[in-house]
Amino acid sequence: MLRIAIQAKGRLNEETMALLTDAGIRVVAGKRKLMTQAIGFPMEVLYLRDDDIPQAVYMGVADVGIVGLNEVAEKELPVVEEMRLGFGICRISLAVPREVDYSGAVWFEGRRVATSYPHILQNFFKANGVNAEIHEIAGSVEIAPLVGMADGIFDIVSSGGTLVQNGLREVEQVFRSEAVLIATAGLDDDKRRELEKLKFRFRSIIDSKGLKYVLMNLPKNRLDEAIALLPGMRSPTILPLAEEDWCSLHVVINEHELWEKIERLKVVGAEGILVLPLENMIR
């Protein structure tokens, strides 16, 4: 049985729980309960702070974990990155007061920067030959310049709204992050098999995102034109209709090109077009 560590609360918790639900895994979390048994998969769920998850996985307290890549990079522990999960996307950036005449990373030379990610920032400054003072604080990093604690900050940015509210502007995007599935190095064979089953479920959900299942009726004499427009995962599915000169064509289309494809299909005679959500795609 696997033990998975997930964030107890915060920005990744809801999306992690949604992923588990989509994968057919139900987790009922009780108040003040640190660990619970999953339903639908042989797994225990351990609730931790996000910055404790990499260490828990490294120590084998949890076999696997879902956490931001930024926390993995910050802790610099030898855990195995199994797969990226496509949510919790953000960046960690340097920001300065908006009135500053910023001239590049060299601007930070000799200045103080407040952050919760000192190791990632130190690596960036070292790579750029900058000698700055890194002041580590937990939480409310964005107010540090306002109260005179620092000249700039290094923090997570999603929309950038919090920076604007505090009179800051983003000047260097240093690290891009998203939720990742990590594992303890050297899992035994039984746990590795269970992990592969879990990854299979996750992958089918991730692969289906942004895809639509499209069905349409089409004159048989226009079939070649439609197929040229709509390559499927291998090729479109074609089924006969009761009306001899017509067929039904089924295909998976990327959401971003859906309407352009539908418009072109109508030109070649497609009718009765149905667009359906695609929950999972098993490759």
pLDDT digits (tens, 9 = 90+) for 221-262: 998 888 888 765 567 888 999 888 999 999 888 888 889 989
CA atoms of 115 and 88, how far apart (whole Å): 19
Return the CATH superfamily for domain 90-177: Periplasmic binding protein-like II (3.40.190.10)
Q: Which of 274, 266, 269, 273 is nearest to 219 (CA)?
A: 269
What CATH number does the domain located at 2-88+178-207 have? 3.40.190.10
What rounded mean pLDDT belongs to the chain?
A: 91
CA atoms of 163 and 158, how far apart (whole Å): 10
pLDDT, greater one: 261 or 64: 64
Instruction: Give the tens place of pLDDT for each residue, 163-172.
Output: 888 899 999 9
Residue 283 has pLDDT above 70, yes or no: no
Domains 2-88+178-207 and 90-177 share a fold: yes
210 φψ region: left (φ > 0), alpha (ψ -120 to 50), beta (else): left
The pLDDT score that the predictor gives to residue 140 is: 83
Neighbours of 183 (CB within 10 A): 23
Rounded mean pLDDT, 23-34: 80
140 φψ region: left (φ > 0), alpha (ψ -120 to 50), beta (else): left
How many angstroms separate the first and last alpha carbons of the chain? 25
Neighbours of 190 (CB within 10 A): 11
Residue 216 has pLDDT above 80, yes or no: yes
Residue 57 has pLDDT above 80, yes or no: yes
Rounded mean pLDDT, 181-204: 96
Q: What are phi and psi of 216, to 5 degrees?
A: -155, 155
Across the beta sheet with 211-219, the strand order is 237-240, 246-254, 211-219, 271-277
The pLDDT score that the predictor gives to residue 234 is: 64
Q: Which residues contact 99 (CB under 8 A, 6 or more apart)?
A: none
What kind and span of H or E run contains 45? strand 43-48
Range with the lowest mean pLDDT among 67-71, 177-181, 227-231, 242-246?
227-231
| CATH T-level fold of 211-277 | Alpha-Beta Plaits (3.30.70)
Q: Which of 25, 43, 33 is nearest to 9 (CA)?
A: 33
3-state secondary structure of 259: helix
Whole-model pTM above 0.85? no
Tokens of 218: 């089409």
- Confidence band (pLDDT; 50, 70, 90) for 31? low
Residue 93 has pLDDT above 90, yes or no: yes
In the chain, domain spans: 2-88+178-207, 90-177, 211-277
CA atoms of 62 and 65, how far apart (whole Å): 7
Residue 52 has pLDDT above 90, yes or no: yes
Q: Which of 266, 261, 268, 265 is nearest to 222 (CA)?
A: 268
